[in-house]
Structure 1
Amino acid sequence: MAPIAPQQTVGRLIREWRMHHHLSQEELALRSELSQRHLSFLENGRSQPSRRTIVRLATALDLPLRHRNDLLLAAGYAPMYAERTIDDPQLASIRETLELILNGHEPYPAFVINRNYDVIAANRSVEVFVEDLPPHLLSPRLNVVRACLHPEGLAPRLLNFETVHANLLARLHRDLAATGSTSARELIAEIGRYPGPGPSHDPLSGPLDIATSLRLRTSRGELAFHATIATFSTAFDITVAEFAIESFFPADAATAAALRATIGPTSQPSPPLAVMASQGDRRPLV
């Protein structure tokens, strides 16, 4: 979905989102507890939706908060969801939560990304990923997809590059299918220009891990990680709703030992998130 244009009507937006999710009018009407006839009138402009109907349709379509605002604005209503910066005083409790998660996860890497896949905060252990990256991949912010797959990034050091490439590409396509993400579309096009696995490569060939891992050559030796992703499930602020916290766990004993030896429990904690957020050109925030 492209950003909303001033002349775009709410009916056209509803129809575009319905078609994007491959839903018939009947299916969307059922999900949103409307009659199919009423939905048809909304889409063709014969009826104007109420604010409550917009919210009902947006919920049925599982739209991201910023696109729910687009629907409301197109219908002539004020947006419902604010978009604050990470250093906004009203997000103090969110910053504290992120600090607890990032610092508490050390000595293992963890970072927070935004909807563009840019890292906005990280703990010190992320240094294991960025230690040899060139400046142009770190500025103005580290993008996790670009850093992993760029030929000057982690790609030459990834021992399972083909698997990581396939997983990241699949993730971008899922985001594009679910939200119409412009960032996902642009990154898919960009990594299509990078050297990639050969056309005959089958990511499912050979033995499969219990869970997909990231295996990397580093100054600490060969390290292997499993990853998890967490989000704020009940966020009503656009910024917070679009945060994703990625936490990496050692996939073998050697990786755990190498990281514990580098950043032990007696080390000083990472800088507070509020400080890190205002220093985007310094590590460990990248």
Structure 2
Amino acid sequence: MHTVGELLRQWRHRRRLSQLDKSNPSADMVLRLADQLDVPLRDRNRLLLAAGFAPRYAERPLDDDALSAARDAVERVLRAHEPYPAVAFDRRWNIVMTNRAVEPFFADVDPDLLRPPINLVRLGLDPRGFAPLVVNLADVRAVFRSRIRRQLAVAPDAELIALYEELLEPDSEDASSRPVESDVVIPMVLRFDGRELRLFSTITTFGTPMDITLDEVAIESYYPADAESAAYFEQSSGDARVAAACP
């Protein structure tokens, strides 16, 4: 087991910050240092335990009654983004919630990939999932790779490392693809329902969470990158409303 000093040094190294080591810091000092280093709540508990203090942050499932307000907030964000797709996922990219606009894309996915927990990275890159639909698969893989590398640099995780090694290790196909940084925004291009849909995404997180689950939940909202893609989702939503209204 690492000491609190060792753990703080690791986090300072990750953040490329230097600060005086504290051999016997108080709990408040540990949390102040963790806040300066932007340490995730899960790892703040580890720091507190290493310093001999009780953890401060609970970890409850999203369906726990104590998180009902936060869960409702996630649902509202997802619904408000319709008719465009949006998903909420945890730190290991397991989907915890989606809006209705995502559902049509699941139609041809292998049922094995839809057994909980449904992993967004695996769903997007596995040949049994969305991969056959993605026109610019190498670009999308490169974006996932960049994001998960940054995530692992901040907070290493064995399951996330295994996911990276399974689906994101560079290969010859990726080597021929242009760098992720070559565009300001790289859209995901899907060939779906007889047309090409171009989408870009944004990430939303909770601002000041006090629960580990909320600290690790992110919402990815997809937007149409051109008028044709926007028209497709708006038309599909209208058709769904008409179908629902029919007896």
The answer to whether structure 1 residue 255 and structure 2 residue 213 are counterparts is no
Structure 1 residues 68, 230: closer, same or farther in 2, change over 3 A?
Answer: same
For 1:1-286, list aligned pairs within 5 A. 7-23=1-17, 27=18, 29=19, 36=20, 39=21, 42=22, 47-192=23-168, 198=173, 200-204=175-179, 211-219=185-193, 221-264=195-238, 267=241
- Counterparts in 2 of 1:204 and 1:15: CA distance versus 1, 3 Å: closer
Deviations 1:220-268 (A, max 9, x none): 5321111111001111111111110111111122222222222239839
What is aligned with 1:275? none
CA shift at 1:60, angstroms?
2.2
Name 1:271's counterpart in structure 2.
none
TM value normalised by structure 2: 0.88
Cα deviations across residues 183-203 of structure 1 (Å, max 9, x unaligned)? 43222111146x955264141
CA offsets per residue over residues 56-77 of structure 1, 9 Å max, x none?
Answer: 2211221100100011111111
Retained in 2: the 8 A contact 1:21–1:177?
A: no
Runs of at least 4 residues of structure 1 off by over 6 A? none
Query: Percent of aligned positions with the same letter in both sequences?
Result: 41
Q: Which amino acid aligns with 2:207?
A: S
Contact preservation (8 Å) 1:175, 1:184: no
Alpha-carbon shift at residue 204 of structure 1 (Å):
4.0
Distance 1:245 1:192 in 2: 21
Per the alignment, residue 277 of structure 1 pairs with none
- Select the structure with the greater relative contact order (CA < 8 A; seq sep ≥ 6): 1
| Displacement after TM superposition at 1:173 (Å) | 0.4
Deviations 1:62-95 (A, max 9, x none): 1100100011111111111111211222212112
- Alpha-carbon distance change, 200 to 155 in structure 1, aligned in 2, over 3 angstroms: same
1:165 Cα offset (Å): 1.0
**Contact 1:166-1:203 within 8 A present in 2 as well:** no
The CA distance in 2 between the partners of 1:199 and 1:223, in whole Å, is: 22
Q: For the Cα contact (< 8 Å) 2:86–2:98, is it kept in 1?
A: yes
Identify unmatched segments of 5+ residues in structure 1: 1-6, 30-35, 269-286
Q: Does the CA contact (< 8 Å) of 1:173 and 1:184 recur in 2? A: no
Give the count of matched residue pairs: 241
Would the aligned equivalents of 1:107 and 1:265 in 2 still touch at CA under 8 Å?
Answer: no
Q: Which has the higher helix share?
A: 2
Structure whose alpha-carbon radius of gyration is higher: 1
CA distance in 1, matches of 2:174, 2:199: 27
Classify the secondary structure of the residue corresponding to 1:227.
strand
**For the residues of structure 2 that align with 1:168 and 1:192, how far apart are their CA atoms?**
8
Gaps of 5+ in 2: 243-247
> 1:259, 1:179 → 2: CA distance?
36
CA contact (8 A) 2:141 2:168 kept: no
Going from structure 1 to structure 2, the CA distance change for 1:197 and 1:103 (only over 3 Å counts) comes to: farther
Q: How far apart in 2 are the matches of 1:210 and 1:15?
A: 34
C-alpha distance after superposition, 1:139-161 (max 9, x if no partner): 12221111111222222221111
TM-score (norm 1): 0.77
Whether the 8 Å CA contact 1:83–1:239 is kept in 2: the answer is yes
User: Is the 8 Å Cα contact of residues 145 and 168 (structure 2) preserved in structure 1?
Assistant: no
Change over 3 Å in CA distance of 1:266–1:201 after alignment to 2: closer
Separation (CA, whole Å) in 2 of partners of 1:199 and 1:212? 15
For residue 22 of structure 1, report the CA deviation from its aligned partner.
4.1
